[in-house]
Amino acid sequence: MLPLVLQTLSVTAPVFVMLFIGVLLVRLRWIDGAFIHTASTLVFKATMPTLLFLSVIKADLDAALQPRLLIYYILATVAGFLLAWAWAIWRCPWADRGVYVQGAFRGNNGVVGLALATSLYGDYGLSLGGVLAGLVILLYNSLSAVVLAIYSPDGRADAGDIIRSILRNPLVIGVTSAIPFAYWQVPLPEWLMTSGEYFAQLTLPLALICIGGTLTVSVLRESSSLAMSSSLMKMVWFPLLATLGAWLCGFRGAELGILFLYFGCPTAASSFVMARAVNSNHQLAATIIVITTLGAALTINVGLFLLHWLGWI
């Protein structure tokens, strides 16, 4: 059990350090609201799409393309999204529903999930996790764009507005533009790949510093009830139901373990970036990210322990 705890902490602890740096920089007045707005825009429109593009074109499709597992993951993710949405209609104020739903289903698979899958299952975890990450990035961003557009503070969106918000979403563009390069294995110049990687590496530090910069005691207090509800759905109910469903569908061993890790990941930092980009309650999004990242050290390890104990992985 202790090695699993240490593995999880080794992935989640750096996230907390960057969040704390964001809090500290605001307290020192080295950054302010204008910087956070500009940096969040840069992440959303440029660095994160670059990161997603590179992630997709580097995925080993031949080694890890498992249609049955990928189809199950898509169906489970959509089901979790719809469940969170139904709960939000009953539980949340209208203006916060989009952020609540996004926080409840959108996991940090590209960082936490992939790192843990690789740590536990080696090259197989890296290959299968990379393909899953590329797939769900497109799915997450499309579903998030829909629910955030519907509950946009700028007014209700019609079907055309929703479609346009998906097609214009820089994160969706980053993934879809990479698919032809990955499928036909089109090589890019090494200097271009290196430059892209330098640029993409700005994504996570900038996003986490911006999240930390928006956190205050008053924000945490005001958002605590809704954030805790969304976080419990993300860290407990969704991984519990989705992993049990995967077991009933016959998944065992490394496949079931990787599915659990991806279902149980804390909420992605990109949910804050998207919420801020559409003028939604980005402070609620930041609080959900903090709670789920903190909770991941407990819930992921307990889940892995139970799956080992039951002999399912």
What pLDDT does 61 receive?
Answer: 64
| pLDDT of 108 | 82
Query: How confident is the model at residue 35, as a pLDDT?
Result: 93
Angle formed by the axes of helices 48-57 and 114-150, nearest 10°: 130
Measuring CA to CA, which residue among 116, 111, 113, 106 is closest to residue 5? 116
Number of Cβ within a 10 Å radius of residue 175: 24
Which strand (E) or helix (H) includes residue 55? helix 48-57
Say what the pLDDT of residue 86 is: 95
Instruction: Report pLDDT digits (tens) over 15-38.
Output: 778 888 998 999 999 998 899 889
Pick the most confident of 59-73, 223-237, 241-255: 241-255
Q: What is the CATH number of domain 2-310?
A: 1.20.1530.20
d(CA 165, CA 177): 16
Residue 244: what pLDDT? 97
What does the domain layout of the chain look like in residue ranges?
2-310
What does pTM read for this prediction? 0.81
Answer yes or no: is pLDDT of 169 > 90: no
| Residues 19 and 208: beta-carbon distance below 8 Å | yes
| Integer angstrom CA distances of residue 216 from 18, 135, 195, 224, 307 | 15, 35, 36, 12, 37
- Report residue 120's pLDDT band, with 50, 70 and 90 as the boundaries: confident
The overall average pLDDT reported for the chain is 84
Residue 28 Rama label (left phi>0; alpha psi -120 to 50; beta): alpha
Tens-digit pLDDT profile for residues 242-255: 999 999 999 999 89
